[in-house]
Every structure is written in C-alpha cells, then in structure tokens.
C-alpha cells in the first residue's frame, strides 16, 4: 500500500472524527446559548414593563396634584427625578389642552422604535383628566442579556460537550478504531505482497460490509484483468488479419501498427514514431490539430480523407476513421484506414466527365438560343405578313393559301417552342411563375383558339368549368395554358368523329384548392403497352401514326415535364378505338384580387385607349421595321425609326416619346445597353419613365429577366402578332 493512500486513510478517520466532535461541541454551545439568552431577554423585557407600570402608578397622582396647583417648578423637579430610575430614558408631561409641557431626557428617545413607551393619564380626584404622562424605557439588548449569563452557559456547555466527547472516544476505540486497525493491517499485508488474496475478516457491522466489498473488488479486478488480456489477444489477432491499416496514436506518437498499415504506408520494417509527418504538408497541420482536439473530447469529424507520402515514395489517398480509446491507462486514438487512390482517380474522372457534360449542355443551350433567335426573326416577318394578308381583300383560293401558310408557320413555331421548353426542362432552368389568373378566361381562350380546327374536321369541342372554382387562382398561367392547348390539339388531331371535351373542376375542398384539368376525346385510343412510352421524347404509339397524323413526339413529353414542375402528375386512361382521357391535378391557391385586375384589354383595330401616341421603334431589320409600321398603318399612332441603340439615344434626347419598342440584338449598341442609357437620360433630363417594350427574337426566361433588369417594362418575344402589339400599346398607354 502506497504512503499517500495510508495517509489518506488516517486523515479520513481521525480528521472526520475530530471534525464531528468539534461540530457537536460548537453546536451544543451555540444552541444552548441562544436559547437561554432569548429566554432571559424576554424575561427582562417583561420585568422592565412591570417596573415601568408601577413607576407610572406611583408618580401619576403626585404629578397630577402639582399640575393642578400649577406648581410647575416642583413639577419639573419631580419629573426629572424619575430619570434616576435605571431603566427610564426620557419623561414627558403635557397638559390636556396643551397649556404646558415638561420634557426630561432626550427628545429622540420618543422616536426610537427599539424603546418601550408607557403612558398614563393625570387625573384629579380620579375623574377629571388634566394631562398625560409619557415615559420611555430603554430595555437591554439581546447581546447584553446573553453576555450577562455567558459564563454560566459556557461552563455548562463545556461540561456537557466533554461528557459527549469522552463517551464518543470510548465507543470509537472499542467499536471502530480497534477493528478498523485490524482491517488496515490485513490490507497492508495484501498490498505489500502484491497479492489478490481476500482479507480474512468477518463481522456483521458496517466494517464487515466494507471488507466484503473489498474482497468482491479484488475478485472483479482479477476477472477484468483476465478479460482485458483476452481482449488484447483477440484485438491483435483481428488487427493482424484485417486488410485495413490499424494504428494507435498516443501523445502524437505511434504505439502500434498492424501489417496492413505498414504495407499501405510502404514500410519494409517499422513505421516512424511520428507517423503523422507522412501526411502531405498541405494537410499535416489540420490533421495534427484534429488529433489533439479529439483527445480533448471536442467534436471533430471522425471520418475524413487525407493525402499521404509513403515511405517508398508514392503519393496515395487514404480514408481514415479515428476513435478515442484507452490504451495502457491513457487516452489514445485508434485510426483505421484504406487506400482509396483508385477511387479518387475515378471521382476525378467523373468530375471531369460531369464538367464536360455541363459544357456540352451549355453549348447546346447556347446553340438552341441562337437557333431560336435566327429562326424567330424571319418568322416574325413571315407570320406578320400572313396576318396583314388576312386583312386584305382575298379570293377563296388566296384565303386557302394564306391559311396553309399560317398553319405551317404556327406548326414551325410550336415545334421551336417545344424544343426550347424541352431544353429548359432538361437543363433544370425551367422557371415556374405563379401569378393570378381567371380560370374562365383560360378555358375561353383555349376553346376559342381550337374550335375552328374542330369544326373544320366536323368535331364538337365542349368546354366545361366547375362553378365552385374561385374567381382567381394563383399559378403559372402560361404553362398551364400550354399543356391544355397541347393536349386538346392532340385530341382533335387524333379524333376522326365525335369530339373533344375540356373540363376544369375542383377536386376537393381545403385551404389550397386542388384543381383537376381533363381533356378527353373519342379518337383512335392508345394500346395499353404503348401508354407508358408516349410520354418519352420523340415517341409515338407506332410509326403509322406518324405517317398518318404527323408530329414529332415532343408534345406529351413536354406536357409531362411541365406538369411535374408545377407539382402535379399527368395520368392517362385509354383503349384502342375507345378514345383517350388525359388528366392532371395541380395545387392552385386562391388569389385575393378583384376581377378588374384580370380583365384583358381589347385587341381590335377600333378606337381604343392610347390612340395618337408618339412611338420610337429601335430595330435594325428592315423587314421587321416594315411589318411594325404596317401593323400600325390604320391607327393614329406615329412611328419614328432608329436602326441601332446609339441613334435611338440621340432621337430620345431631342424628342419626348410616349413609348419605345426596343430590339435587343443590334449593331453599334445593343438594346440592353441602350435601355440602361435611356433610363439614365430620363433621370438626367428629369423626365417621367417611358414604357420600354423589348421586341426580341430571344424567348428564353433568362433573356426576359436580363431585359427587365436593364430597365425594360415588358418583354414581347418574336414573332408577335398585330393583336399582341396593340395589346402592349394599350397596357402601357398613359
């Protein structure tokens, strides 16, 4: 048994016993003194009160007689004589009507809350009161009372404590010290011989319980040592056979390394003690700090990757997992690691492939944007001229030609829009814009657009709308319209007789209405085995459909992706010869807007708000300039033309225009820069902001956002119709 342990036992037994004895002594003395002092203090106060009452009864008649005789000199002398009483601190005699007042002793005594105030009336003949007598008695303090009897209390307490201490010493020696010394001798013997032999001691008291617990502890230690030795043997067997490297680090030094660790780190013999020095210099400081913090118990990542320079000169990557363990009675870390150099090479190759795919996708998007711009520019002229031809005088054959030309242009534009939409969906750049719209206007527009096609084929087109629908919903109006138009157009195309039904209904009640859109037809139907394929890109039910009805197989693929982007799922029910039914449900919240905010302006050539405006067209393409002027030929609007952005700025400084139509792709200065400078000129000249409508063949969402960020009021993509142009003028007219 070590000396500190033996000294600790002595301090524990002797010190605690002495502390207990002193505590008993002081406690008894304190309690006895306080109790006796308090009783003595209360007794003294009662005696003082009785003494004061006797003094008042004796002096009150004398003072009353002197006051009645108006012998104030003798009255004052008699009053002061009362101060001779040892407990009297002050005396005051007052007349009943305040006609005289005699004071003896300090005045402040009457205001001291610790004093005892007694009062008695001054009466003549025991009946008539002629004044009052007040006496202030100063009682002794608790400390004074206790000090007076401290000697006796102390003596009594000392005797009592001495008796208790003597009794405790006898009991301690016989019942505690002697048996405990025998126990300590047995423990010293066992400790000196480094044996785990149990102590031979039996008793039925607390010491017996202690000895029994000590013997059980010895047995438990033996069992734990055997288990620890077995665990160490098992650990070494497992560590030596594992393919993962295993090392134990303690105080920053290597304590153990298995063969796999030496093999991974390229060591023919033993590894260096400072094994962390093999970590790459860029990561070495961080790894050392993690090791230090982990041993301190702080929360640091236990799994991480690091670059290592092996002893045979190779640069490898390892994935390491570190945990804190106890090793030879001190904290240490056990690190297990694998060589992941091959996996890292694969990851880098995947990253390179991903980056190449992103660059290819970006190139594709840029190509599609460029293609869209180049195709839309001549299509704007082509479809615009078709629109103008319809307003001219045509014979029946010419009207047929114009219709064919218009249908071909619309088909080409639809195909172009489908390709661009598909590109946006696949690249993750499709933007869903929630804005208020009237579902009734949505249904009316689609049915008005497609009814002529249905009537031309002898089909009916029924449009149904649930009357319980809110007046205004919040959703992506344009994409919903695109999906429904595509589904209804397909239904008309693949139906020979009967017709098509478009229905919009409310599926269920709740805080957010769920709106079901359904397009059903009586057409050719779709075989079940083909129903899962028709939503794939460039896929139709079979090749004969393509030959008979045409199409690219993009429409339904885009519809499915748009519906999924808006939070829904498109469903199909169909059978060959039994028609088809496409439906989807979207969560569309109610929009709190007045109906006047949802109404569209008229788009005809009649007199309309905004007539007689001064317009500036900034356009470098002569055909598009001619088309713009022809659209407004029968209106009172006046149009000025600029071929590039710089010329437009010069004209804007000289003339105040009501509205500007700005192309974005122009030589000398493009529309983005021209719009930014135009806004700066307005601020410099102190003008009100003029509506600037971007007329551009760029139709992607990022182009719209860029034009608005440059200062444009609206983005109107090409090709635009005469109706859409007049609507834009109407929306922004002052």
- Banded model confidence at residue 597, pLDDT cuts 50, 70, 90: very low
pTM above 0.85, yes or no: no
Listing DSSP states for 579-647 in one string gives: -EEEEEEEE-PBP---GGGTPPPP-SSSS-TT-S-EEEEE-S-HHHHHHHHHHTTTSS-EEEEESSHHH
| pLDDT of the residue at 378 | 77
Q: What is the mean pLDDT of residues 290-294?
A: 89
pLDDT exceeds cutoff 60 at 525 = yes
Is the separation of the CB atoms in 517 and 584 below 8 Å? yes
Q: What is the pLDDT of residues 138-196, one digit of tens each?
A: 777 666 666 665 556 566 666 766 676 667 666 665 556 666 676 677 667 666 655 66
Integer Cα distance of 79 and 102 in angstroms: 8
In this prediction, residue 157 carries a pLDDT of 63
Which sign does the torsion angle of CA 332, 333, 334, 338 carry? Answer: negative
| Residues 6 or more apart whose Cβ sits within 8 Å of residue 677 | 645, 649
The pLDDT tens digits for 473-512 are 999 988 898 899 889 988 998 899 999 999 999 876 666 7
pLDDT of 2 reads: 44
C-alpha 651/C-alpha 82 separation (Å) is 119
> pLDDT at residue 639 above 90?
yes
CA dist 694 and 706 (Å) reads 11
The tens digit of pLDDT for each residue in 392-403 reads 787 877 777 777
Measured distance CA(491)–CA(518) in Å, rounded: 11
312 alpha-carbon distance from chain centroid: 50
The answer to whether the beta carbons of residues 428 and 568 sit under 8 Å apart is no
**DSSP collapsed to 3 states, 254-286:** EEEECHHHHHHCCCCCCCCCCHHHHECHHHHHH
Note the pLDDT tens digit of each residue in 557-583.
Answer: 888 888 998 999 999 998 888 899 999
Kindly compute the dihedral angle of the four CA atoms of residues 12, 14, 16, 22, in this order, to the nearest 10 degrees.
-160
Token pair of 640, please? 């000025």
Question: Can you tell me the mean pLDDT for 2-14?
Answer: 47
CA–CA separation, 254 and 653 (whole Å): 81
* Rounded Cα distance, 409 and 453, in Å: 16
When the pLDDT of each residue in the chain is averaged and rounded to a whole number, the result is 79
Distance CA 64, CA 93 (A): 10
Q: Return the residue matching tokens 């500036």.
A: 616
Q: What is the pLDDT of residues 621-636, one digit of tens each?
A: 888 888 898 889 888 9
Torsion of CA 307, 312, 313, 319, to 10 degrees: -10
Mean predicted confidence (pLDDT) in 207-220: 76
Nearest to 572, CA basis, from 582, 563, 564, 562:
582
Higher-confidence residue of 699 and 468: namely 468
Q: What is the pLDDT of residue 602?
A: 44
Question: Regarding predicted confidence, which is higher, 551 or 534?
Answer: 534
Distance, in Å, from the CA atom of 491 to the CA atom of 498, rounded to the nearest integer, reads 11
The rounded distance, in Å, linking the Cα atoms of 119 and 92 is 10
Note the pLDDT tens digit of each residue in 510-519. Answer: 667 789 999 9
Largest CA distance in the chain: 152
Output the CA torsion sign for 353, 356, 362, 364.
Answer: negative
Q: Write b or e for each residue in 193-210: b if 16 or more Cβ atoms lie within 10 A of its Cβ, otherwise e.
A: eeeeebbebeeeeebeee
For the chain, percent of residues with pLDDT exceeding 70: 77
3-state DSSP call for residue 461? Answer: strand
386 close to 405: Cβ distance less than 8 angstroms: yes
Per-residue pLDDT, 543: 47
Chain position carrying tokens 């299509």? 379
Would you say residue 604 has pLDDT above 70?
no
Residue 580 confidence (pLDDT): 92
Tokens standing for 363?
């190139």
How many whole angstroms separate alpha carbon 381 and alpha carbon 626?
9
User: Do the Cβ atoms of 674 and 648 come closer than 8 Å?
Assistant: yes
Distance separating alpha carbons of residues 690 and 682, to the nearest angstrom: 8
CA distance 675 to 365: 26
Mean pLDDT, range 702-717, rounded to an integer: 88
**Minimum mean pLDDT range among 71-75, 182-186, 497-501, 608-612:** 608-612
pLDDT of 273 strictly over 80: yes
Local confidence band at 309 (pLDDT 50, 70, 90 cut-offs):
very high
pLDDT greater at residue 338 or residue 548: 338
What are the structure tokens assigned to 385, written together? 């001229």
Report pLDDT for 510. 61
SS (H, E, C) 160-218: HHHHHHHHHHHHHHHHHHHHHHHHHHHHHHHHHCCCCCCCCCCCCCHHHHHHHHHHHHH
Confidence of residue 522 (pLDDT cuts 50, 70, 90): very high
Q: For the chain, what is the radius of gyration of the CA atoms?
A: 54
Q: What is the spatial distance between Cα 670 and Cα 646, in angstroms, rounded to a whole number?
A: 9
Cα distance between residue 212 and residue 245, in whole Å: 46
pLDDT digits (tens, 9 = 90+) for 664-685: 888 899 999 999 999 999 999 8
Question: Is the distance from CB of 17 to CB of 172 less than 8 angstroms?
Answer: yes
**pLDDT reading at 523 higher than 70:** yes
Please report the pLDDT score of residue 264 as a whole number. Answer: 92
pLDDT in tens, 228-260: 777 777 777 777 778 888 899 998 899 989 989
Tokens matching residue 411: 């088909």
Question: What's the rounded mean pLDDT across residues 375-401?
Answer: 76
Tokens found for residue 687: 């003008």
pLDDT at 153: 59
Contact present, 148 and 87 (Cβ < 8 Å): no
Query: Cβ neighbours of residue 726 under 8 Å, at least 6 residues apart?
Result: 603, 604, 605, 608, 631, 635
Q: In what order do the strands lie in the sheet with 638-642?
A: 638-642, 614-618, 659-662, 692-696, 714-717
Question: Each residue of 413-456: pLDDT tens digit?
Answer: 766 777 776 666 666 667 788 889 999 999 998 888 888 889 98
Report CA-CA distances (Å) from 521 to 441, 503, 554, 611.
22, 12, 20, 45
The pLDDT assigned to 617 comes to: 94
Directed axis angle between helix 341-391 and helix 396-426, to 10°?
160
């Amino acid at each position: 048994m070590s000396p500190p342990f033996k000294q600790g036992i002595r301090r524990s037994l002797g010190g605690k016993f002495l502390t207990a004895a002193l505590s008993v002594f002081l406690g008894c003395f304190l309690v006895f003194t306080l109790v006796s002092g308090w009783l003595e203090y209360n007794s003294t106060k009662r005696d003082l009160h009785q003494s004061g009452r006797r003094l008042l009864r004796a002096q009150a008649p004398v003072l009353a007689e002197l006051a009645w005789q108006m012998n104030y000199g003798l009255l004052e002398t008699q009053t002061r004589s009362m101060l001779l009483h040892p407990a009297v601190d002050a005396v005051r005699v007052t007349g009943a009507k305040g006609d005289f007042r005699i004071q003896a002793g300090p005045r402040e005594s009457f205001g001291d809350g610790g004093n005892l105030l007694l009062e008695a009336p001054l009466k003549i003949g025991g009946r008539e009161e002629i004044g009052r007598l007040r006496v202030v008695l100063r009682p002794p303090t608790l400390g004074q009372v206790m000090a007076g009897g401290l000697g006796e209390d102390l003596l009594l307490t000392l005797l009592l404590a001495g008796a208790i201490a003597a009794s405790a010493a006898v009991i301690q020696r016989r019942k505690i010290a002697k048996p405990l010394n025998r126990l300590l001798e047995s423990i010293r013997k066992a400790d000196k011989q480094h044996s785990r032999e149990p102590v031979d001691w039996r008793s039925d008291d607390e010491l017996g319980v202690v000895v029994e617990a000590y013997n059980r502890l010895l047995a438990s230690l033996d069992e734990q040592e055997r288990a620890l030795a077995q665990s160490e043997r098992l650990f070494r067997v497992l560590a030596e056979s594992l393919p993962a490297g295993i090392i134990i680090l303690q105080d920053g030094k290597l304590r153990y390394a298995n063969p796999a660790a030496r093999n991974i780190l390229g060591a023919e013999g033993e590894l260096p003690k400072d094994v962390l020095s093999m970590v790459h210099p860029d990561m070495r400081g961080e790894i050392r700090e993690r090791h230090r913090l982990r041993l301190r118990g702080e929360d640091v990542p236990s799994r991480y990757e690091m670059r290592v320079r092996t002893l045979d000169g190779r640069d490898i990557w390892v994935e390491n997992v570190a945990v804190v363990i106890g090793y030879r009675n001190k904290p240490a870390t056990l690190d297990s690691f694998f060589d992941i150099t091959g996996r890292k090479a694969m990851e880098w190759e995947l990253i390179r492939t991903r980056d190449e795919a992103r660059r290819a996708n970006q190139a594709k998007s840029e190509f599609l944007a460029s293609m869209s711009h180049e195709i839309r520019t001549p299509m704007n002229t082509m479809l615009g001229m078709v629109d103008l031809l319809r307003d001219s005088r045509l014979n029946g054959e010419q009207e047929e030609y114009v219709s064919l030309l218009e249908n071909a242009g619309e088909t080409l534009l639809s195909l172009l829009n489908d390709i661009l939409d598909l590109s946006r969906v696949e690249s993750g750049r499709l933007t869903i814009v929630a804005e208020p719209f009237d579902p009734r206007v949505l249904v009316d527009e689609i049915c008005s657009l497609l009814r002529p096609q249905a009537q031309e084929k002898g089909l009916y087109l029924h449009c149904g709308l649930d009357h319980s629908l809110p007046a205004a919903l919040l959703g992506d109006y344009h994409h919903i319209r695109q999906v429904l138009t595509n589904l209804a157009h397909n239904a008309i195309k693949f139906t020979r007789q009967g017709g098509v039904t478009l229905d919009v209904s409310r599926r269920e009640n709740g805080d957010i209405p769920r709106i079901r859109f359904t397009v059903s037809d009586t057409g050719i139907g779709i075989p079940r085995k083909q129903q899962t394929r028709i939503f794939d890109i460039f896929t139709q039910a079979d090749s004969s459909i393509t030959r008979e009805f045409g199409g690219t197989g993009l429409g339904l693929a885009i519809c499915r992706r748009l519906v999924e982007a808006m939070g829904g799922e498109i469903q199909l029910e169909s059978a060959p010869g039994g028609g088809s039914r496409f439906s989807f449900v979207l969560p569309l919240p109610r929009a709190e807007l007045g109906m006047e905010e949802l109404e569209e302006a008229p788009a005809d050539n009649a007199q309309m708000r905004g007539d007689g405006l001064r317009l500036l067209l900034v356009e470098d393409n002569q055909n598009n300039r001619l088309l713009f002027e022809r659209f407004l030929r029968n209106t009172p609007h006046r149009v000025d033309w600029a071929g590039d952005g710089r010329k437009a700025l010069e004209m804007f400084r000289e003339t105040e225009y009501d509205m500007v139509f700005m192309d974005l792709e122009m030589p000398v200065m493009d529309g983005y820069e021209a719009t930014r400078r135009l806004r700066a000129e307005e601020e410099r000249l102190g003008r009100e902001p003029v509506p600037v409508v971007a007329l551009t063949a760029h139709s992607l969402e990022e182009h719209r956002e860029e034009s608005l960020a440059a200062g444009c009021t609206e983005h109107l993509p090409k090709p635009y119709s005469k109706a859409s142009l007049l609507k834009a003028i109407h929306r922004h007219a002052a």
